[in-house]
Amino acid sequence: MTTKTRKSGASRHPVRSLLRHIRLFATDVDGVLTDAGMYYSESGDEWKKFNTRDGMGIKLLQRAGLITAIVTQERTRLVARRAEKLAIPEVHQGVMDKLSVIRDMAVRHGISLDQVAYIGDDVNDIEALKAVGLSASPADGLPQVVRVVKYVCRKKGGEGAVRELAEMILKAQGQVSSFQGQDLSSGKRS
């Protein structure tokens, strides 16, 4: 495990003060909540694989009082269903200008962009990543993205990157111990 150089801006250990002030957590979908694969059946049905541990990370953030959001260029019923299952209050699909959507959410919730964490993996995420307080990429994010983010996850997209970032935020905010030993899933996988 190597630490990214200062030249790229990315680190394996984001500044704790950044993590402590996060109030809104936003994520892209393809390549972040999924492995970036798109699966099609013979009948034309589209499938995506979501990681249940990432889902639990989102639930933990919500229980700690953070606003959670999906901001994606894609527009699918699958994403809407996943967001509904996780009770994500801010779901923005078909977004071409992610920074504008994130700015709008911050204004509506009365927070600054410095209080927003955003995780993305591709070139259409770059402007939003440059603007927020805590920007992150999965380990397999594109090189152009890795160069501009403040944190590069150890985990790949769809393999726990969101959970990794969520736990870092919760730990910095002193929230992790309050969830240990509780039944958070109500018997269902997230």
Question: Looking at residue 21, which CATH number applies to its domain?
Answer: 3.40.50.1000
Q: What is the pLDDT of residues 106-126, one digit of tens each?
A: 999 999 999 999 999 999 999
In the chain, % of residues over pLDDT 70: 85
By DSSP bridging, strand 116-119 and strand 24-27 are: parallel
Q: How many domains does the chain have?
A: 1
Is position 47 within any domain? no
Cα separation, 122 vs 141, in Å, equals 6
pLDDT of residue 39: 87
CA atoms of 117 and 120, how far apart (whole Å): 10
Planar angle of CA 77, 69, 133, nearest 5 degrees: 145
Residue 107 lies in a domain: yes
At residue 46, the pLDDT reads 87
Distance CA 174, CA 169 (A): 9
| Cβ–Cβ under 8 Å, residues 39 and 49 | yes
Residue 155 domain-assigned (yes or no): no
Q: Give how far the C-alpha of residue 40 lies from the chain's centroid of Cα atoms, to the nearest Å.
A: 25
Mean pLDDT, rounded, of the chain = 89
Which domain covers residue 71, as residue numbers? Answer: 10-40+53-134+141-149+160-171
On the question of pLDDT at 77 being above 50, the answer is yes
Report if residue 176 sits inside a domain: no
- Position 1 scores a pLDDT of 36
**Any domain includes 81:** yes
Confidence of residue 161 (pLDDT cuts 50, 70, 90): very high
pLDDT for res 181? 53
Query: What b/e readout covers 54-67, taking b as 16+ CB neighbours within 10 angstroms?
Result: bbbbbbbbbebebb
Residue 158: is its pLDDT beyond 90? yes
* Type and span of the H or E element at 16: helix 16-20
Take residue 46 and report the two structure tokens written for it. Answer: 């589209």
Average pLDDT for 20-24: 97
Structure tokens given for 73: 């260029």
- Residue 14 in any domain: the answer is yes
In a domain, 18, yes or no: yes
Assess if residue 178 is contained within a domain. no
